[in-house]
Amino acid sequence: MNCSSFGIGLAGLGTVGSGVVLALERNAGLISARTGGRVKLEIARVLVRDLTKLRPVALPDECLTTSWRELVEDPAVDIVVELIGGTTDAFEIVAAALKAGKPVVTGNKALLAERGVELFALSKQHDAPIHFEAAVAGGIPIIKTVQESFIGNRIHSIVGIINGTSNYILERMTSAGLEFPAALAEAQALGYAEADPALDVNGWDAAHKAILLATLAYGFPIDPAKIHVAGIEQVRPIDIEFATRLGYVVKLLAVVREHADGAVELRVQPSFIAQSHILASVHGVFNAVAVHGDAAGESLFYGRGAGQDPTASSVVADLVEAGRSLAQANGHRGFLPYREAGELLPVEETETAYYVRFDVTDRPGVIAEVARVLADAGIGISGTHSPVKPDQPDADFLDMVFLLHTCSFGRLQETLREIESLNCINSAPVVFRIEKL
């Protein structure tokens, strides 16, 4: 039995990087046993910003460096792990590693979503794979599942809750009646949200992950500028209250769906989903992804979407896969796009039912004015509601909600622009899709 030892160049020793070191120390024997004694992984070099900083893991001083070039070029480094985040230095590190023919493991969804076209081209050119299980849904093995377990399926759809921070905030708004700022502050205090939570709450963290899943499922690069992304910043307790009353919950949902003509629908937005659907029971910072394949049918994957140990688990799994590939020398086993181009369905052509909330001036005839514009556009109304606020019974302004039948998003947007011009409308309407899953 031949045992191959592979040196790891670890760029970043933060929460996840430290978790990777600890996991390798804790489970070295287990990994060796499960690979038939053929793969041994050792930390060879670690990139840090400050050599003097106290760290939660003990590493020899000679392992540490502040130069990413030194890490990548070190002959003792066989596999490069990028965990520094961002899209600038991270791109340079990953590109240099691939050019050197070294496999890369990364959890950087923004990097792959925004610059993956360039990196996967380098991966193919230099026969050096990129492994990125940790980039989507933390410890859930969704990348390998889509890439390998569903390889014999035509994937009809991938729908998921893939940002734990937003899911926690929406749940606290639902269960405790908190306003968005209070729920966000609580998430930050518990360490679920960053000091700058923009990417979590504006939907782009989930969008980057959805882009990666769509690229895996349908094989062509996707331009982030061409997808529809909306976050949870405008969700208010009144929206949560309406959802509950109507039998729904509000979730930040990523929807990837192939249509009959081959066009791919890709969007991220707060949505109403039925309380009876399994995704409605995904609580706290947990993630869940539902994959529908033509052969496998519907499958659900659930688990922690972030955190030191779940994310480190995915990184270590990728390291083992990279080590196996190097040991067996059987060619590139990482992901490569298999189509040069594909068609994204314009968000204007996507169709669902909708919940629309208007801030209106309280006077007779308001409902009739709005209903007339909707009727002229051919958009049906399934219900209206105008709540009276007990603490403000004589308020001049109120929230009016319309539940609308299924129509294209483009027609809805055009109609809402006309409604906004009415002198009874005080601000831009808030729109939630009502998903039929």
Crossing angle for the helix pair 308-328 and 15-34, to the nearest 10 degrees: 50
**Closest Cα to residue 360, out of 393, 391, 395, 392?**
395
Residue 328: the pLDDT is 73
By residue range, what is the domain housing residue 269?
143-303
Q: What is the mean pLDDT of residues 24-53?
A: 87
Do 120 and 174 sit in the same domain of this protein? no
Say how far residue 127 (Cα) sits from the centre of its chain.
28
pLDDT at 215: 93
Q: Residue 391 pLDDT > 60, yes or no? A: no
At residue 430, the 3 state secondary structure works out as strand
Q: How many domains does the chain have?
A: 3
AA letter at 5: S
Residues 298 and 149 placed together within one structural domain of the fold: yes
Percent of the chain with pLDDT over 70: 95
Distance CA 373, CA 368 (A): 9
Do 107 and 155 share a domain, yes or no? no
What SS3 state is found at 115? helix
Mean pLDDT (the chain) is 90
pTM: 0.84
CATH number, position 44: 3.40.50.720
Look at residue 340 and tell me if it is in a domain: no
pLDDT on residue 33: 83
Average pLDDT over residues 390-402: 67
Q: What is the pLDDT of residues 64-108, one digit of tens each?
A: 999 999 999 999 999 999 999 899 999 999 999 999 999 999 999
**At residue 306, does pLDDT exceed 90?**
no
Residue 341 lies in a domain: no
Note whether residue 122 is domain-resident. yes
Residues marked active site are found at 209
Structure confidence by residue, pLDDT tens digits, 43-56? 999 999 988 888 88
My answer on whether 156 and 104 are in the same domain is no
Dump pLDDT digits (tens) for 5-16.
899 999 999 888
Q: Is the pLDDT of residue 19 over 70?
A: yes
Compute the CA torsion angle 232, 236, 240, 243 (nearest 10 deg). -80
**Cα(375)–Cα(92) distance, rounded to whole angstroms?**
55
Residues 128 and 271 occupy one common structural domain: no
Write the CATH number for 236: 3.30.360.10
The H-or-E segment that residue 59 falls in is none
Same domain flag for 297 and 323: no
Residue 387 confidence (pLDDT) above 70: no
In this prediction, residue 390 carries a pLDDT of 44
The H helix count followed by the E strand count for the chain is: 13, 16
Question: 299 and 313 in one domain?
Answer: no
Q: Give the mean model confidence (pLDDT) for residues 223-243.
A: 94
Q: How far apart are CA 422 and CA 228, in angstroms?
A: 26
Top-ranked range on mean pLDDT: pick from 192-201, 249-258, 358-367: 249-258
User: What percent of the chain has pLDDT above 90?
Assistant: 69
Whether residue 16 is contained in a domain is answered as: yes
Residues 250 and 118 placed together within one structural domain of the fold? no
The stretch 261-283 carries a mean pLDDT of 95
Residue 132 has pLDDT above 80, yes or no: yes
Binned at pLDDT 50, 70 and 90, residue 340 comes out as confident
The verdict on 167 and 150 lying in the same domain is yes
pLDDT exceeds cutoff 70 at 393: no
Quick one: 156 and 299 in the same domain? yes
The predicted structure's pLDDT at residue 395: 56
pLDDT of residue 3: 60
Strands (E), 259-367: 264-274, 286-293, 297-304, 351-361
Please determine, for residue 273, whether its predicted confidence score (pLDDT) is greater than 90: yes
CA distances from 409 to 12, 345, 347, 433 (A): 42, 12, 7, 9
Q: For residues 55 and 59, give the distance between their C-alpha atoms in angstroms, rounded to a whole number.
A: 9
